[in-house]
Copies of this chain bind each other. A is one copy, B any other.
Amino acid sequence: MDNIKNYIDKNKDRFIDELIELLKIPSVSADSAYSQDVINTADAVKSRLEKAGCDFVEICETPGYPIVYGEKTIDKNLPTILVYGHYDVQPADPVELWTSPPFEPVIKKTELHPDGAIFARGSCDDKGQMYMHVKALEYMVQSNSLPCNVKFMIEGEEEVGSPSLAWFVARNQEKLKNDVILISDTGMISNTQPSITTGLRGLSYVEVEVTGPNRDLHSGLYGGAVANPINILAKMIAQLHDDNNHITIPGFYDKVHDLSREERDEMAKAPFSLDAYKKALDIEDVYGEATYTTNERNSIRPTLDVNGIWGGYTGEGAKTVIASKAYAKISMRLVPDQDWNEITELFTKHFTAIAPKGVKVKVTPHHGGQAYVTPIDSIGYQAAALAYAESFGVKPIPVRSGGSIPIVALFEKELKSKTIMMGFGLDSDAIHSPNEHFGIFNYLKGIETIPYFYKYFTELSK
């Protein structure tokens, strides 16, 4: 199967150019101003799948943005791999912190990416990683080496919580039937130490609104006499953690299972430098839940973070006002067995309960999803491990990620199949941040590794 190396060598410039074209479309699903761009991206993905060799591709309408479905069936008796990815991207703001425009991709060398990396919103999350699968299919079709059937389901609402995906999956059980689901929307430890994500955190994302007086007030005439919604919101947010940074919502930890000392020791073997971590973020110290390490805090422990806050006068200069309302967007990362709907209810109940009499509180759930763990003894994991070992020459390490791909739990429930997360990005690729990028090495290595997964999964399924 060395042909894959040669094929990539011959075609890499085109592979990169095709991805760059895709990255130029600002498919920001969170902002309705970009809705036409999101739809145009779906059309672009459809034609790429057709060119790559799918024998059937369609744009499937949903209550939200469309889902691109494609398939190539070579033999009904062979296993079927369902590839999931998303063509929508995170908002680019704060745009002023980008060193090059987020939707004008450029290739720049970095310390970790000496061969260069593509800088653009979505380059890694997830257009770049999704497109690796399209190019891997192209190779297998061109070289007549596709060993099994393949289906693609590429959605456009992942960055806003996939509101339409459950609706779509529930209505297309037969069409989506598969033996394993393959996703590249996670990262790996480094370009010399591949890893496979075996766990994902769940998510509950809410927006809160605190209302005090029925109008903005002069802070001199009313200051000190009425509940200031901003001060109250700050106080309520502060109360959500105790001095040990445990979350104080009653019942929040009821279903959280502590990992055994052995499991934690196993995790601790993954290469990690706290100094390098602090240096990379330019922070004097890390901060988190007492008695847990940094890697545990952001993977096996549930967390609560304010993702946005606003209220009162935020313009130039000074305004002595007491705002009528204050707002915050708050998300909680959850671990296996914490049900996101239940956690959302617990949050709502608690947050409303701790509000003083002088204010009214409104909690609006945005979206959420369940946590997930992949068994490493499954055929899918084994095939993925062999694939990485072959392309990287190094055995991959299983790791738990702090991120969430809510639909993974949904897939298992609705489609009864396991999901394998073959990620090729690096944590330093700045996904969801300014200057997101994806290494050329990683992009091409992904295209190289994926056909091996097809090969081994088909063999192990016999």
Query: Which A residues lie at the B interface, using CB under 8 A?
Result: 29-32, 90-91, 93-94, 97, 159-161, 187, 201, 203, 205, 207, 212-228, 230-235, 237-239, 241, 281-289, 294-295, 297-298, 301-303, 305-323, 326-329, 331, 333, 356-359, 366-367, 401-404, 427, 430-435
A215, B434: Cβ atoms closer than 8 Å: yes
B230, A309: Cβ atoms closer than 8 Å: yes
B322, A305: Cβ atoms closer than 8 Å: yes
A308, B307: Cβ atoms closer than 8 Å: no
**Which of these, B216, B228, B288, contacts A306 with CB under 8 Å?**
B228
**Which of these, B31, B93, B218, B357, contacts A431 with CB under 8 Å?**
B218
Q: For the complex, what is the distance from the CA of A32 to the CA of B317, rounded to whole Å?
A: 9
**Which of these, B161, B217, B317, B323, contacts A30 with CB under 8 Å?**
B317
A308, B313: Cβ atoms closer than 8 Å: yes
Provide a sorted-by-A list of 30 A–B residue pairs whose CB atoms are within 8 angstroms.
A91-B313, A205-B320, A213-B281, A215-B434, A216-B432, A216-B434, A217-B433, A218-B431, A218-B432, A218-B433, A220-B402, A223-B298, A223-B305, A224-B298, A224-B301, A224-B305, A225-B294, A226-B288, A228-B306, A230-B306, A231-B237, A234-B238, A234-B306, A284-B357, A285-B357, A307-B313, A307-B319, A307-B322, A308-B312, A318-B367
In the bound complex, residues from chain B placing their C-beta under 8 Å from that of A231 are 237-238, 241, 305-306
In the bound complex, residues from chain B placing their C-beta under 8 Å from that of A308 are 230, 311-315, 319, 321, 323
Q: For A33, give the chain B residue with the smallest CB separation.
A: B316
**Which of these, B224, B297, B302, contacts A402 with CB under 8 Å?**
B224
A226, B313: Cβ atoms closer than 8 Å: no
A307, B321: Cβ atoms closer than 8 Å: yes
A220, B403: Cβ atoms closer than 8 Å: yes
Output the least CB separation between A353 and chain B (Å): 15
B331, A288: Cβ atoms closer than 8 Å: no
**Which of these, B225, B315, B402, B434, contacts A288 with CB under 8 Å?**
B225
Q: For A298, give the chain B residue with the smallest CB separation.
A: B225
Q: For A322, give the chain B residue with the smallest CB separation.
A: B305
Instruction: List 5 tightest A-B contacts by C-beta distance, closest first.
Output: A224-B303, A220-B403, A30-B317, A308-B312, A238-B238
A213, B283: Cβ atoms closer than 8 Å: yes
Interface centre among A217, A228, A308 (most CB of B within 10 A): A308
In the bound complex, residues from chain B placing their C-beta under 8 Å from that of A31 are 315-317
Q: For the complex, what is the distance from the CA of A82 to the CA of B93, rounded to whole Å?
A: 51
Output the least CB separation between A218 and chain B (Å): 4
**Which of these, B298, B312, B328, B404, contacts A329 with CB under 8 Å?**
B312
**Which of these, B187, B222, B283, B322, contacts A226 with CB under 8 Å?**
B283
